[in-house]
Amino acid sequence: MKLLDRYIGKTVISGILGTLLVLLILISFFALIEEVEDVGRGDYRTLDAFKYVLFLMPRQAYDIFPVAVLLGSLIGLGGLASHSELVAIRSAGVSLGRIIFSVMKAGLLVMFLVVLLGEVVAPKSEQHAETVRAEKLYNQTTLKTRYGFWARDGEYFVNIRQILPGSELRDIYIYEFASDRTLKLATHAASARYEDGRWRLQGIKQSRFSEQQVISSDIVTTTWESMINPDLLDVVTRPAMLPAWGLYQYIDFLHSNGQEARVYEVAFWEKIVTPLITLVMVLLSVPFVFGVLRSVGIGQRIFIGAALGVLFLLLNKAFGHMAIVYNIDALFAVSFPGLLFLTIALYFVRRLH
C-alpha cells in the first residue's frame, strides 16, 4: 500500500505543481505588463519591474493555491482514469475509501507547503518587493527594525514607532542634520495624520541644537512638509505582509488602542483557513474523477475545475468584503465558502459508494 500511496501522491502533487506553475506564469505576465507602466518614475527601471514581479510570485502562488490544487488534482487523477489505472487499482481489490485516503495524504503534504509559503516565504518576499518598489518610485531609503520604521527624507532622518491604518502615525522622531552632519533639530511628535498632501503633527516637543546651547520648545500642532508618502508606509502594515502570528499581535495592538481591526481579522482567519481549503479541494476532485467526469477528456476537466475555482475565489472575496463592510463575523465569512465546498464534496463522495 505504501507503493500505491507514493504513486497516487506523486501523480496528484505533480499535477498540482504543474498547474501552479502555469497559472503563475500567466498571472506574472499580466502583472509585468501592468508594472511596466510605472517604469521611468523616479529610479524605477525595467529590471526593477522584473524583480518586483519575481518577488511577488510567492504571494500570488499562495492566493491561487486552492484553484491550483483543484485543477491539479483533477488533471492528476484524471490522467490515471484516462489510462484506466484507477480501474486496474479497483480491480486489484483496493477500495475507493483507500484510494481517497492516498489522495488525502498527498493533500496533507500540499497543505504543509501552503503553510510554509503563507507564513514564511510570501510575507518576507512581498514586503521586500513592495519596499524596494516604493523606494525606487519615491527616491527614499527606508528600513524596518525592531525599533520601528526608519526613512531618510533629504537632510531629515525619520523614525516612526507605530504605523496605524488610515495614514495615521504614533510616536514619531524627526532628526534634521546640517551639511556638516551635525544635529540641528530633534523633534518628537505624539501623532501624525496625512491630510491634503502633507502630514499634520500633534503633541510636538522640539530641541534645537547650537554650539552654545540647546533650546527646547513645545508646539501643539504643525504641518510637516515631507516627501514620505503613505503608500511607502502602507507596505509595513498591509495585512498580506504579515504572517498569522504577526496579524494576531497587530490585532491585539489595534484593539488595545481602540482601533478598528476588522480588515486584519479577516486576513488572520484567511491565514488559518486557507491550508484547510487545500484539503477540501483535493477531496472535491475525487467524486468528479470517479463520478461525473470519469469518461470525459482533460479539456473538460480543466474547464470544470477552472469554473469551480473561480467560483470559490469570487465567493471568498465577496464574503471577505461583506465581513468588513457589514461587520459580519470574520471567522464565519472566511469559512463559509470552504464549508460550502466541503459539503458539496462530501455529498458527492457519499454517492460514489
pLDDT tens digits, one per residue of 31-46: 999 999 988 888 889 9
Residue with cell 491565514: 271
Query: Using an 8 Å Cβ cutoff, are 185 and 165 in contact?
Result: no
Question: Is pLDDT of 316 > 80?
Answer: yes
Query: Using an 8 Å Cβ cutoff, are 68 and 19 in contact?
Result: yes
CA 177-202-188 angle, to 5 degrees, is 35
Q: Cα-flanking dihedrals φ and ψ of residue 195, to 5°?
A: -135, 130
pLDDT tens digits, one per residue of 329-338: 999 999 999 9
Please state, in angstroms and as integers, the Cα–Cα distance from residue 229 to each residue in 135, 165, 197, following that order.
10, 14, 9
Question: Is pLDDT of 348 > 80?
Answer: yes
Domain borders along the chain are: 2-138+240-352, 141-227
Q: Which residue has the higher pLDDT, 100 or 292?
A: 100
Q: What does the mean pLDDT of the chain come to?
A: 85
Please choose, from the candidates 117, 118, 126, the residue with its C-alpha nearest in 3D space to the C-alpha of residue 53: 126
Share above pLDDT 70 across residues of the chain, in percent, rounded to a whole number? 90
pLDDT tens digits, one per residue of 164-196: 766 778 899 999 888 788 888 999 999 898 887
DSSP states of 160-205: EEEEETTTEEEEEEEEEE-TTS-EEEEEEEEEEEEETTEEEEEEEE
Question: Is pLDDT of 274 > 80?
Answer: yes
pLDDT tens digits, one per residue of 205-237: 999 988 788 888 888 888 887 767 776 676 666
Q: Exposed (0-12), middle (13-18) or buried (19+): which is 51, by Cβ within 10 Å?
A: middle
Q: How many helices (H) and strands (E) does the chain have?
A: 10, 7
Please choose, from the candidates 176, 131, 182, the residue with its C-alpha nearest in 3D space to the C-alpha of residue 152: 176
Number of other residues whose CB lies within 10 A of the CB of residue 104: 16
Average pLDDT over residues 43-50: 91
- Region of poorest pLDDT, from 40-49, 89-98, 131-140, 246-255: 131-140
